[in-house]
Amino acid sequence: MTRFPLEGVRVLELGNYIAAPTTGRMLADFGAEVIKVERPGSGDELRRWRLYAGTTSMLFRTINRNKKSIVVDLRTEAGQRDVRTLATQCDIVLENFRPGTLEKWGIGVDALNAANPTLIFVRISAFGQTGPMATRPGFAAVAEAYGGLRELVGEQDRPPVRVGVSIGDSIAGLYGAFGAVMALLDRQRHPGKSIPLQDRIIDVALNESIYSMMESLVPDYLAYGVQRHRTGGRMEGIAPSNAYLCADAKSVVIAGNSDAIFQRYMTVIDRPDLAADPELAANDGRWARREELDDAIGAWTARRPRDEVLEILGEAGVPCGPIYTAADIVEDEQYLHRNMIQSFDVDTGDGAPTSVGFPGIVPVLGGRSLPIGSIGPDLGAHTDEIRRRYLRKNQS
């Protein structure tokens, strides 16, 4: 592509951590100019999360790619004036402070809307901007519990566990980006029309973002009284689909749960008796006998190394795959073909810059990931540029 779809859109990011910055990352990935406001001295706390060496973590570099960093103290009158001035020249404001914080500083929705009555506001918080829990603090870990996810992750005879990434923050960030683009489209479709403020506020709650991904969790409960529980590597009501250990101590995931695939699956693992069993022809019967099926599959994989298991099942058209680590991902031909690993020279604390691969841009346009313009910037790297372009001429 010779252009990016969001070129010309300008975003003021007041967020920290992962949720709102993920929204900013997605908008920046597709061409928006994202001005990230950071506190003096330390900047976004994410700069030090998973910091193994150097001064800025790869987590920050990843989530804040393609953005510009300006240092502004939001607690001061000068900093608040800078925000109001920047807001007059932006299309979108992103924030994930506890509700009421920006209002306390004089840079809340009403103040910024008075400065720019076309602004779109993406507000991400633990429980949303309204309701009895609105002012409660909360990170994604708490939201994942409230949203119903945590209860379903792990083994049934053990306490719930968490997935290894901040999935609640990331999902909320996706909703924030979708809401922002939705509001931009609404504005574009009604040129010259004043869109009410309440229609320009994208209110994203972490717990609701998780809850919205829980499929039929609540309808199943209300309709049938079903309380879902943790099922380990399985998915409730779907069989056979699980992870299985191979002879070389490596594991594979095999999802042979469709009716047609199941027949081929059982035949290829030398269990034609299971393929022909009428009780197993449909998914409900297979779920009822899931232990038996997993035992049969596990016995078959245990006699073969992982690559042989994948080759046999792949030839039979049974969905399967290895359980990748980071080392596997960076050598995978599919990721490389679609430009999903893009390298930049980065300060890793060892003196000379090191070439580091970063995740490509999703979704893909034109067959391959769009190129990343820059990784997350050093603290305040664009302060002079932004002040020169947007602040000095408007505050003189």
Question: Could you list the active site residues?
Answer: 169
Q: How far is CA 270 from CA 273, 274, 286, 291, in A?
A: 9, 9, 17, 17
What residues are paired with 120 via a beta bridge?
92
What is the residue-wise DSSP string for 79-144? Answer: HHHHHHHHHTT-SEEEE-SPTTHHHHTT-SHHHHHHH-TT-EEEEEESS-SSSTTTT----HHHHH
| Token reading at 42 | 């330390």
Three-state DSSP at 197 gives helix
CB 119 within 8 A of CB 113: yes
Q: Which residues touch 151 (CB under 8 Å, ≥6 apart)?
A: 145, 160, 228, 229, 230
Q: Which residues touch 133 (CB under 8 Å, ≥6 apart)?
A: 126, 127
